[in-house]
Amino acid sequence: MQIGIIGLPYAGKSTIFSTLLTQKSSDTGTSKMSAERGVVKVPDERLDRLTEMFQPRRKVNATIEYIKVPGLESEEQQTRSLPAQFLANLKTVDALLVVVRDFENEYYPHPLNRIDPAADIEFINSEFLFSDLSIVETRYEKLEKLVPKTQDEKDKKELALMTKLKAQLEEERPLRELQFSASEELILKGYQFLTAKPVLYVINISEDQIGNEDRIEEQFSSLLTPHCALTSLSAEIEKEISELSEEDARAFMEDLGIKEPALSKLIRTSFDLLGLISFFTVGEDECRSWTIRQGTNAQKAAGVIHTDLEKGFIRAETVHYNDLIAQGSLAACKEKGLLRLEGKDYIVRDGDILNIRFNV
Protein backbone atom coordinates (compact mmCIF):
# COMPACT_ATOMS: atom_id res chain seq x y z
CA MET A 1 0.00 0.00 0.00
CA GLN A 2 1.32 3.43 -0.95
CA ILE A 3 0.55 6.86 0.51
CA GLY A 4 1.67 10.02 -1.26
CA ILE A 5 2.94 12.85 0.95
CA ILE A 6 2.17 16.25 -0.57
CA GLY A 7 1.87 19.87 0.50
CA LEU A 8 2.93 23.42 -0.22
CA PRO A 9 6.60 24.41 0.12
CA TYR A 10 7.94 24.60 3.72
CA ALA A 11 4.93 22.77 5.15
CA GLY A 12 7.14 20.05 6.67
CA LYS A 13 6.83 17.25 4.10
CA SER A 14 10.55 16.43 4.09
CA THR A 15 10.82 16.47 7.88
CA ILE A 16 7.85 14.13 8.29
CA PHE A 17 9.09 11.85 5.51
CA SER A 18 12.65 11.56 6.81
CA THR A 19 11.41 10.94 10.36
CA LEU A 20 8.97 8.27 9.23
CA LEU A 21 11.51 6.24 7.34
CA THR A 22 12.91 2.98 8.54
CA GLN A 23 14.22 2.07 5.11
CA LYS A 24 14.67 4.10 1.94
CA SER A 25 14.18 2.33 -1.37
CA SER A 26 16.83 2.27 -4.08
CA ASP A 27 14.78 4.34 -6.50
CA THR A 28 14.86 7.54 -4.45
CA GLY A 29 14.93 10.39 -6.95
CA THR A 30 17.62 12.98 -7.33
CA SER A 31 15.93 15.54 -9.57
CA LYS A 32 13.70 18.31 -8.32
CA MET A 33 10.57 16.56 -9.56
CA SER A 34 11.50 13.00 -8.57
CA ALA A 35 9.54 11.25 -5.84
CA GLU A 36 11.26 9.75 -2.79
CA ARG A 37 10.06 6.45 -1.37
CA GLY A 38 10.41 4.72 1.95
CA VAL A 39 8.94 1.73 3.77
CA VAL A 40 7.60 2.26 7.29
CA LYS A 41 6.69 -0.32 9.95
CA VAL A 42 3.17 -0.08 11.37
CA PRO A 43 3.45 0.07 15.20
CA ASP A 44 1.27 -2.58 16.84
CA GLU A 45 1.32 -3.24 20.58
CA ARG A 46 -0.50 -6.52 19.97
CA LEU A 47 2.39 -7.86 17.89
CA ASP A 48 4.82 -6.72 20.59
CA ARG A 49 2.82 -8.63 23.21
CA LEU A 50 2.63 -11.76 21.05
CA THR A 51 6.39 -11.61 20.54
CA GLU A 52 6.91 -11.49 24.30
CA MET A 53 4.59 -14.49 24.70
CA PHE A 54 6.04 -16.76 21.99
CA GLN A 55 9.68 -15.58 21.98
CA PRO A 56 10.13 -16.17 18.22
CA ARG A 57 13.38 -15.84 16.30
CA ARG A 58 12.02 -12.74 14.59
CA LYS A 59 9.16 -10.25 14.64
CA VAL A 60 7.72 -8.85 11.38
CA ASN A 61 5.47 -5.77 11.43
CA ALA A 62 3.03 -4.79 8.72
CA THR A 63 4.39 -2.01 6.49
CA ILE A 64 3.20 0.97 4.48
CA GLU A 65 5.16 2.68 1.71
CA TYR A 66 5.24 6.47 1.83
CA ILE A 67 6.15 8.54 -1.23
CA LYS A 68 7.19 12.19 -0.87
CA VAL A 69 5.94 13.88 -4.03
CA PRO A 70 7.30 17.29 -5.07
CA GLY A 71 5.56 19.52 -7.58
CA LEU A 72 2.72 21.19 -5.67
CA GLU A 73 4.47 24.56 -5.76
CA SER A 74 1.96 27.40 -5.60
CA GLU A 75 4.08 29.84 -7.58
CA GLU A 76 4.02 27.39 -10.52
CA GLN A 77 0.26 27.12 -10.65
CA GLN A 78 -0.32 30.14 -12.87
CA THR A 79 -1.68 27.94 -15.67
CA ARG A 80 -4.19 26.24 -13.38
CA SER A 81 -2.70 22.93 -14.42
CA LEU A 82 -0.81 20.54 -12.16
CA PRO A 83 2.61 19.44 -13.47
CA ALA A 84 2.48 16.22 -15.49
CA GLN A 85 5.22 14.60 -13.39
CA PHE A 86 3.37 15.44 -10.18
CA LEU A 87 0.24 13.72 -11.50
CA ALA A 88 2.27 10.75 -12.71
CA ASN A 89 3.86 10.31 -9.27
CA LEU A 90 0.42 10.25 -7.63
CA LYS A 91 -1.23 7.98 -10.17
CA THR A 92 -0.55 4.73 -8.32
CA VAL A 93 -0.80 5.86 -4.68
CA ASP A 94 -3.69 4.47 -2.64
CA ALA A 95 -4.19 7.59 -0.49
CA LEU A 96 -2.94 11.15 -0.04
CA LEU A 97 -1.26 12.61 3.05
CA VAL A 98 -1.62 16.39 2.86
CA VAL A 99 0.76 18.34 5.13
CA VAL A 100 -0.24 21.92 6.03
CA ARG A 101 1.63 24.23 8.36
CA ASP A 102 0.33 26.01 11.44
CA PHE A 103 3.58 27.58 12.66
CA GLU A 104 5.67 30.68 12.01
CA ASN A 105 9.27 30.51 10.80
CA GLU A 106 11.00 33.66 9.58
CA TYR A 107 13.70 31.63 7.78
CA TYR A 108 11.13 29.65 5.80
CA PRO A 109 8.26 32.01 4.95
CA HIS A 110 4.96 30.59 3.79
CA PRO A 111 4.83 30.75 -0.05
CA LEU A 112 1.52 32.63 0.13
CA ASN A 113 2.68 34.88 3.01
CA ARG A 114 0.13 33.58 5.50
CA ILE A 115 -0.31 30.98 8.23
CA ASP A 116 -3.80 29.67 7.54
CA PRO A 117 -4.12 25.86 7.42
CA ALA A 118 -7.77 25.97 6.33
CA ALA A 119 -6.93 28.23 3.38
CA ASP A 120 -4.02 25.98 2.39
CA ILE A 121 -6.28 22.93 2.43
CA GLU A 122 -8.86 24.77 0.34
CA PHE A 123 -6.15 25.79 -2.15
CA ILE A 124 -4.83 22.24 -2.51
CA ASN A 125 -8.31 20.73 -2.80
CA SER A 126 -9.29 23.26 -5.46
CA GLU A 127 -6.22 22.27 -7.50
CA PHE A 128 -7.24 18.63 -7.32
CA LEU A 129 -10.87 19.40 -8.17
CA PHE A 130 -9.81 21.42 -11.19
CA SER A 131 -7.46 18.67 -12.38
CA ASP A 132 -10.14 15.98 -12.10
CA LEU A 133 -12.78 18.17 -13.73
CA SER A 134 -10.50 18.86 -16.71
CA ILE A 135 -10.04 15.13 -17.27
CA VAL A 136 -13.75 14.39 -16.85
CA GLU A 137 -14.87 17.19 -19.20
CA THR A 138 -12.45 16.07 -21.91
CA ARG A 139 -13.64 12.47 -21.71
CA TYR A 140 -17.31 13.51 -21.43
CA GLU A 141 -17.13 15.62 -24.59
CA LYS A 142 -15.49 12.79 -26.52
CA LEU A 143 -18.04 10.21 -25.39
CA GLU A 144 -20.95 12.57 -26.01
CA LYS A 145 -19.98 12.66 -29.69
CA LEU A 146 -19.03 8.97 -29.90
CA VAL A 147 -22.03 7.24 -28.30
CA PRO A 148 -24.73 8.39 -30.82
CA LYS A 149 -22.57 6.99 -33.62
CA THR A 150 -21.49 3.65 -32.10
CA GLN A 151 -24.30 2.89 -29.62
CA ASP A 152 -21.66 0.86 -27.77
CA GLU A 153 -22.94 -0.30 -24.37
CA LYS A 154 -19.53 0.07 -22.72
CA ASP A 155 -19.27 3.67 -23.92
CA LYS A 156 -22.81 4.37 -22.74
CA LYS A 157 -21.95 3.18 -19.23
CA GLU A 158 -18.81 5.30 -19.18
CA LEU A 159 -20.72 8.36 -20.40
CA ALA A 160 -23.27 7.88 -17.62
CA LEU A 161 -20.43 7.69 -15.11
CA MET A 162 -18.72 10.80 -16.51
CA THR A 163 -22.03 12.66 -16.25
CA LYS A 164 -22.23 11.66 -12.58
CA LEU A 165 -18.63 12.71 -11.92
CA LYS A 166 -19.00 16.00 -13.78
CA ALA A 167 -22.04 17.00 -11.71
CA GLN A 168 -20.20 16.23 -8.46
CA LEU A 169 -17.06 18.14 -9.41
CA GLU A 170 -18.99 21.15 -10.71
CA GLU A 171 -20.51 21.40 -7.23
CA GLU A 172 -16.89 21.54 -5.96
CA ARG A 173 -17.30 18.27 -4.10
CA PRO A 174 -14.65 15.50 -4.17
CA LEU A 175 -15.37 12.19 -5.87
CA ARG A 176 -14.51 10.25 -2.69
CA GLU A 177 -17.92 11.27 -1.31
CA LEU A 178 -19.73 9.27 -4.01
CA GLN A 179 -20.58 5.60 -3.93
CA PHE A 180 -19.82 3.51 -7.00
CA SER A 181 -20.94 0.14 -8.31
CA ALA A 182 -18.41 -2.60 -9.05
CA SER A 183 -18.61 -1.84 -12.80
CA GLU A 184 -18.07 1.88 -12.16
CA GLU A 185 -15.06 1.09 -9.96
CA LEU A 186 -13.49 -0.79 -12.86
CA ILE A 187 -13.85 2.23 -15.15
CA LEU A 188 -12.48 4.58 -12.48
CA LYS A 189 -9.30 2.52 -12.06
CA GLY A 190 -8.11 3.71 -15.44
CA TYR A 191 -8.24 7.35 -14.37
CA GLN A 192 -6.90 7.48 -10.79
CA PHE A 193 -8.73 10.73 -9.97
CA LEU A 194 -7.08 12.67 -7.14
CA THR A 195 -10.32 13.61 -5.37
CA ALA A 196 -11.40 9.96 -5.37
CA LYS A 197 -8.44 8.93 -3.19
CA PRO A 198 -8.75 8.81 0.61
CA VAL A 199 -6.98 11.74 2.25
CA LEU A 200 -5.25 12.30 5.60
CA TYR A 201 -4.74 15.95 6.56
CA VAL A 202 -1.74 16.50 8.84
CA ILE A 203 -1.62 19.85 10.66
CA ASN A 204 2.04 20.61 11.37
CA ILE A 205 2.07 22.62 14.61
CA SER A 206 4.73 24.40 16.67
CA GLU A 207 6.21 23.11 19.92
CA ASP A 208 4.18 25.52 22.06
CA GLN A 209 0.96 24.06 20.63
CA ILE A 210 1.72 20.55 21.91
CA GLY A 211 -0.98 19.54 24.37
CA ASN A 212 -3.67 21.40 22.46
CA GLU A 213 -3.98 18.88 19.62
CA ASP A 214 -7.63 18.04 20.36
CA ARG A 215 -8.65 21.70 20.26
CA ILE A 216 -6.66 22.30 17.07
CA GLU A 217 -8.14 19.27 15.33
CA GLU A 218 -11.65 20.28 16.38
CA GLN A 219 -11.27 23.44 14.28
CA PHE A 220 -11.01 21.26 11.18
CA SER A 221 -13.72 18.73 12.03
CA SER A 222 -15.78 19.87 9.02
CA LEU A 223 -13.14 18.27 6.79
CA LEU A 224 -13.95 14.80 8.10
CA THR A 225 -16.18 13.73 5.24
CA PRO A 226 -16.22 10.10 4.02
CA HIS A 227 -12.74 8.63 3.48
CA CYS A 228 -11.00 11.57 5.19
CA ALA A 229 -8.99 11.65 8.40
CA LEU A 230 -7.09 14.35 10.28
CA THR A 231 -4.30 14.49 12.84
CA SER A 232 -1.83 17.07 14.15
CA LEU A 233 1.81 16.92 15.16
CA SER A 234 4.99 18.95 15.43
CA ALA A 235 7.29 17.59 12.73
CA GLU A 236 10.36 19.20 14.30
CA ILE A 237 9.66 17.69 17.73
CA GLU A 238 8.98 14.28 16.17
CA LYS A 239 12.32 14.52 14.38
CA GLU A 240 14.10 15.32 17.67
CA ILE A 241 12.42 12.35 19.38
CA SER A 242 13.50 9.99 16.59
CA GLU A 243 17.15 11.04 16.98
CA LEU A 244 17.30 10.31 20.74
CA SER A 245 18.02 7.05 22.50
CA GLU A 246 14.98 5.20 23.82
CA GLU A 247 15.66 6.34 27.40
CA ASP A 248 16.29 9.98 26.44
CA ALA A 249 13.27 10.00 24.13
CA ARG A 250 11.06 8.76 26.95
CA ALA A 251 12.32 11.51 29.29
CA PHE A 252 11.95 14.15 26.56
CA MET A 253 8.35 13.12 25.87
CA GLU A 254 7.53 13.13 29.59
CA ASP A 255 8.81 16.72 29.85
CA LEU A 256 6.50 17.73 26.98
CA GLY A 257 3.55 15.65 28.20
CA ILE A 258 3.66 13.37 25.15
CA LYS A 259 2.47 9.79 25.72
CA GLU A 260 3.76 8.38 22.42
CA PRO A 261 5.36 9.75 19.25
CA ALA A 262 2.66 11.38 17.16
CA LEU A 263 4.05 9.68 14.07
CA SER A 264 2.96 6.33 15.51
CA LYS A 265 -0.60 7.63 15.55
CA LEU A 266 -0.13 9.00 12.02
CA ILE A 267 0.98 5.60 10.72
CA ARG A 268 -1.94 3.80 12.37
CA THR A 269 -4.36 6.42 11.04
CA SER A 270 -2.92 5.91 7.54
CA PHE A 271 -3.48 2.18 7.93
CA ASP A 272 -7.10 2.63 9.06
CA LEU A 273 -7.81 5.17 6.32
CA LEU A 274 -6.93 2.59 3.67
CA GLY A 275 -9.53 0.21 5.10
CA LEU A 276 -6.85 -2.23 6.23
CA ILE A 277 -6.77 -4.60 9.18
CA SER A 278 -4.14 -6.94 10.61
CA PHE A 279 -4.20 -10.61 11.44
CA PHE A 280 -1.33 -12.51 13.01
CA THR A 281 0.60 -15.74 12.69
CA VAL A 282 2.58 -16.88 15.71
CA GLY A 283 5.17 -19.51 16.54
CA GLU A 284 8.77 -20.20 17.52
CA ASP A 285 10.16 -19.10 14.17
CA GLU A 286 8.18 -15.91 13.68
CA CYS A 287 5.44 -13.65 14.97
CA ARG A 288 4.08 -11.64 12.08
CA SER A 289 1.42 -9.09 11.27
CA TRP A 290 -0.30 -9.58 7.90
CA THR A 291 -2.26 -6.89 6.07
CA ILE A 292 -5.65 -7.45 4.45
CA ARG A 293 -8.64 -5.31 3.55
CA GLN A 294 -11.69 -5.34 5.80
CA GLY A 295 -14.14 -8.01 4.65
CA THR A 296 -11.49 -10.48 3.43
CA ASN A 297 -12.38 -14.15 3.90
CA ALA A 298 -10.07 -16.76 5.43
CA GLN A 299 -9.08 -18.37 2.13
CA LYS A 300 -8.05 -15.03 0.60
CA ALA A 301 -6.22 -14.11 3.81
CA ALA A 302 -4.30 -17.39 3.57
CA GLY A 303 -3.19 -16.32 0.08
CA VAL A 304 -1.54 -13.24 1.56
CA ILE A 305 0.77 -15.57 3.49
CA HIS A 306 1.46 -17.82 0.47
CA THR A 307 -0.45 -18.70 -2.70
CA ASP A 308 -0.16 -22.43 -1.87
CA LEU A 309 -2.12 -21.85 1.34
CA GLU A 310 -4.97 -20.32 -0.64
CA LYS A 311 -4.97 -23.04 -3.30
CA GLY A 312 -4.90 -25.90 -0.81
CA PHE A 313 -6.96 -24.23 1.92
CA ILE A 314 -8.79 -26.67 4.23
CA ARG A 315 -9.50 -24.80 7.46
CA ALA A 316 -8.22 -21.85 9.48
CA GLU A 317 -7.48 -22.54 13.13
CA THR A 318 -8.54 -19.24 14.66
CA VAL A 319 -8.44 -17.41 17.96
CA HIS A 320 -8.73 -13.69 18.60
CA TYR A 321 -5.85 -11.78 20.16
CA ASN A 322 -8.02 -10.55 23.06
CA ASP A 323 -9.04 -14.11 23.94
CA LEU A 324 -5.44 -15.36 23.83
CA ILE A 325 -4.22 -12.58 26.10
CA ALA A 326 -7.10 -13.14 28.52
CA GLN A 327 -6.49 -16.92 28.71
CA GLY A 328 -2.69 -16.78 28.60
CA SER A 329 -2.02 -19.62 26.15
CA LEU A 330 -3.33 -21.37 23.05
CA ALA A 331 -3.90 -24.50 25.12
CA ALA A 332 -6.16 -22.62 27.52
CA CYS A 333 -8.07 -21.10 24.59
CA LYS A 334 -8.60 -24.57 23.10
CA GLU A 335 -9.84 -25.88 26.44
CA LYS A 336 -12.38 -23.03 26.65
CA GLY A 337 -13.53 -23.54 23.05
CA LEU A 338 -12.09 -20.19 21.95
CA LEU A 339 -9.64 -21.79 19.51
CA ARG A 340 -11.88 -22.94 16.68
CA LEU A 341 -11.81 -24.15 13.08
CA GLU A 342 -13.25 -21.82 10.44
CA GLY A 343 -14.01 -22.45 6.78
CA LYS A 344 -12.96 -20.53 3.68
CA ASP A 345 -15.86 -18.07 3.87
CA TYR A 346 -15.08 -16.93 7.42
CA ILE A 347 -14.52 -13.15 7.43
CA VAL A 348 -11.25 -12.45 9.19
CA ARG A 349 -11.43 -9.87 11.98
CA ASP A 350 -8.80 -7.37 12.98
CA GLY A 351 -6.68 -9.07 15.62
CA ASP A 352 -7.41 -12.67 14.61
CA ILE A 353 -4.56 -15.16 14.99
CA LEU A 354 -4.65 -17.75 12.20
CA ASN A 355 -3.00 -21.11 11.63
CA ILE A 356 -3.86 -22.30 8.13
CA ARG A 357 -4.44 -25.97 7.48
CA PHE A 358 -3.89 -26.81 3.82
CA ASN A 359 -3.02 -29.57 1.39
CA VAL A 360 -1.40 -29.02 -2.02
Which tops the pLDDT comparison, 341 or 87? 341
Residue-wise pLDDT tens digits, 62-73: 988 999 988 776
pLDDT for 71 equals 72
Percentage, residues of the chain above pLDDT 70: 94
pLDDT given for residue 26 in this prediction: 39
Q: What is the pLDDT of residues 98-149, one digit of tens each?
A: 999 998 888 888 888 889 999 999 999 999 999 999 999 999 999 999 999 8
Return phi, psi of residue 124, to 5°: -65, -45
Provide the CB-side half-sphere exposure for 283 (13 A, CA).
6
Going 274 to 283 to 46 to 326, the CA torsion angle's sign is positive
CB–CB of 258/210 below 8 Å? Answer: yes
pLDDT of residue 137: 96
Question: Which has more confidence, 210 or 349?
Answer: 349
Through-space distance between the first and last CA atoms of the chain, rounded to whole angstroms: 29
Query: Dihedral of the CA atoms 219, 223, 224, 226 (nearest 10)?
Result: 170
Q: For the chain, give the mean pLDDT.
A: 89
> What pLDDT, on a 0 to 100 scale, did the predictor assign at position 224?
84
Residue 23 confidence (pLDDT) above 50: no
CATH number of 295-358: 3.10.20.30
Q: What pLDDT band is residue 28 in, cutting at 50, 70 and 90?
A: very low
Range of lowest pLDDT (87-91, 136-140, 244-248): 87-91
| 143-190 pLDDT tens trace | 999 999 888 999 999 999 999 999 999 999 999 999 999 999 999 988
